[in-house]
Structure 1
Amino acid sequence: MTITSLDDAAWDSPWRRRPVGEKVALSASLLLTALCTPSMESSSWVSPVVGSGIWPGALLAGIISVIVILGPARIRGRVLWQAMAAPIVFLVVGGISVLISLGSSPIGTVWWHAGVFSIGPVTTAQAMSLIEHGVCGTLTLMVLAVTTPMVDLLTWLRKFHIPDPLLEIASLTYRLIFVLLDTVVTAGEAQHARLGDAPEGKFGGLNRRMSNTAALLGSVGIRAWTRANRLNDGLVNRGFESALVTLPVKRVGSARFKIIVVTVIAAVWAISWSTTGRIFR
């Protein structure tokens, strides 16, 4: 996966034509649902299973997010998987650190122990809750990330009277990232064509690789400074003061979309309440 994959997917998605506010509302509603709905362990209708870590609201929010991304938004499954790979690895590592308890534990309260390390029902429930909430919460954010380019999101934020200089700095920095990324790729290909990464000498050419990496970073740093100065000169020559206001694309909201979103979110909360016996955590 490249750094531009999410942005490319957002530009190509048919949901880019939807108002940004609708997509933000959908993503935020699913996120709050995943975080605030209770677990089945506290239910009086379901036999408590210590360590199960089942959160029906979070699970349903994650499933709905996947359906929305792969269905109406028409994002390829490969793009979604590549975007979720790094967060999943991070969450699994964090879950393992929560799963293994450090310190003495009373006998009979753990399933496994070795010295000061132990695994029990409490730590298992906490680890499963962490991973489930993390994965489902990330999926709900992907609904917005893979359907809304950053440019559209920054333009939408102007409605909230955020200072124009802050939005312009964020927008220009975001655009400059892709310019510098292209520079890094081009310079790396040039080094590779000149056998700059060929193993030679001790440690398989480690010294050469470190030297080439340092040269690449130095070159990118100088180019970033130069391009930033040129960008500043261009803005000054155009009479830039606080904002470069452009005409936003008019997008008509859909009453049907809003009704469906409210209905789905309400249904998830109703299912969560019926299976756990509570509304909130």
Structure 2
Amino acid sequence: MTSHQTTIDDAAWASPWRRRRVGEKVLLSVSLVLTALLTPAWPGCVLVAAVSVFFIVGPARIRPGLLLTVMIAPLTFLVMGSLPVAFQFGGTGWGIGGLRISPDGLGTALGLVAHGVAGTLALMVVATTTPMVDVVTWMRSLRVPDPLLDVASLMYRLLFVLLSTALAVRQAQVARLGDAASWRRRWRAVADTLGSIILRTWARATALQRGLEGRGYEEAMRTLSPRRQRNWGFVCGAVASVAGVWAACWVLS
């Protein structure tokens, strides 16, 4: 049993783009996000989404199935958030009960979904190719205060502690109940499962804190980072891709 978080992190470590400088990937991702925000849904957002998917599954070598899996949650959120915009009370047209689809609202809702999907895919360019440790190291080079980075790094580690504990408890529950357990028994076990997860996570987090204290932590939790040379070809390719989207929007609009 795996999770989106661990799968993304494993993919980021294995991606050939992990050898790229973080600043270069951030430049590409942020440029695509701003393009998705400032250009119309057609053709801007469509082209941003296409360019992002190309970079992710092409040069970055991220599995298309993984990208589809991690996009399910944000896509669901975007669709649910756009429903109040697409429907209205009263009026004419197709609907259910007193709710009716508004033609103007439907267009606005589709535009919101398009902007959201394009922006999320642009963010995935960094998320699927850059481990958290590289992000923290890059932010330290930007003179972000060490206490903020340490809190972010610890929270990230604690998420993995919580995740591994939940997976272990879940596997134990499946092994004990099997597939023959009734729904009532399964729901009765949910409370016990949550209690076990909280207690075991608290114990492991306390052990992590004691480990830091035993290591003599005082200033910052620094990690070694390989030196990466600036790749001007990558930078020029990123700039050309974003410029191509803007040029296509200018021609097709």
> Would you say same fold, with TM above 0.5?
yes
Deviations, residues 136-188 of structure 1 (Å, cap 9, x unaligned):
11111111111011111111111222221221122122122223322222222
Query: Paired residue for 1:10?
Result: 12
Aligned to 2:27: 25
- Paired with 1:150 and 1:165, the residues of 2 have a C-alpha distance of 16
Q: Using the alignment, how far apart are the partners of 2:46 and 2:123 within structure 1?
A: 14
Distance 1:248 1:117, change over 3 A: same
RMSD of Structure 2 on Structure 1 (CA): 2.0
The reply on whether 1:211 has 2:188 as its aligned counterpart is yes
Q: Which residue of 2 aligns with 1:62?
A: 49
Deviation at 1:205, TM superposition (A): 4.5
Using a 3 Å threshold, how does the CA distance of structure 1 residues 268 and 209 change in structure 2: closer, same or farther? Answer: same
Give runs of aligned pairs for residues 236-275 of structure 1, distance below 5 A. Answer: 236-275=213-252
List structure 1 segments (4+ residues) > 3 angstroms apart after TM superposition.
Answer: 110-116
Task: Please say which structure displays the higher CA radius of gyration.
Answer: 1
Asked if the contact 2:13–2:130 (Cα under 8 Å) also holds between the matched residues in 1, the reply is: yes
- Contact 1:197–1:209 (CA under 8 A) maintained in structure 2: no
Please state whether the residue corresponding to 1:161 is helix, strand or coil.
coil
Partner of 2:73: 86
**C-alpha distance in structure 2 between counterparts of 1:136 and 1:228, whole Å:** 37
Name the TM-score, length of structure 1 as normaliser.
0.82
Deviations, residues 5-61 of structure 1 (Å, cap 9, x unaligned): 111111111000100011111000001001101x3xxxxxxxxxxxxxx42111111
Structure 1: tracts of 5 or more residues without a match = 40-53, 277-281
Cα distance, 1:214 vs. partner? Answer: 1.8
Code of the residue aligned with 2:119 in structure 1: it is G
Structure 2 equivalent of residue 118 of structure 1? 100
TM-score (norm 2): 0.91
* Partner residue, 1:232: 209
**C-alpha separation in 1, matches of 2:95 and 2:178:** 50
Residue ranges of structure 2 left out of the alignment (5+ in a row): none
Which residue of structure 1 aligns with residue 142 of structure 2? 160
Select 2:87's aligned residue among 95, 100, 112: 100
1:187 is the counterpart of 2:169: yes
Partner of residue 223 from structure 1, selected from 193, 200, 205: 200
Query: In the alignment, what sits opposite 2:153?
Result: 171
Change (3 A) 1:34 1:197: same
For 1:141 and 1:128, the matched residues in 2 are separated by: 20
Letter in 2 for 1:138: T
Contact 1:196 1:212 in 2 (8 A): no
| Aligned-pair identity (%) | 50
The one-letter code of the counterpart of 1:133 is: H
Residue type of the partner of 1:58?
A: C
- Displacement of 1:198 in angstroms is 4.2
> Structure 1 pair 185/111, CA: closer, same or farther in 2 (3 Å)?
same
In 1, the alpha carbon distance for the partners of 2:82 and 2:159 equals: 32
| Residue of structure 2 aligned with 1:137, choices 113, 119, 126 | 119
* Partner Cα separation in structure 1 for residue 176 and residue 35 of structure 2: 54
Q: CA deviation at 1:111?
A: 4.5
Task: Judge conservation of contact 2:161–2:204 (CA < 8 Å) in 1.
Answer: no
Aligned: 1:77 with 2:64: yes
- Tell me the SS of whatever aligns to 1:241: coil
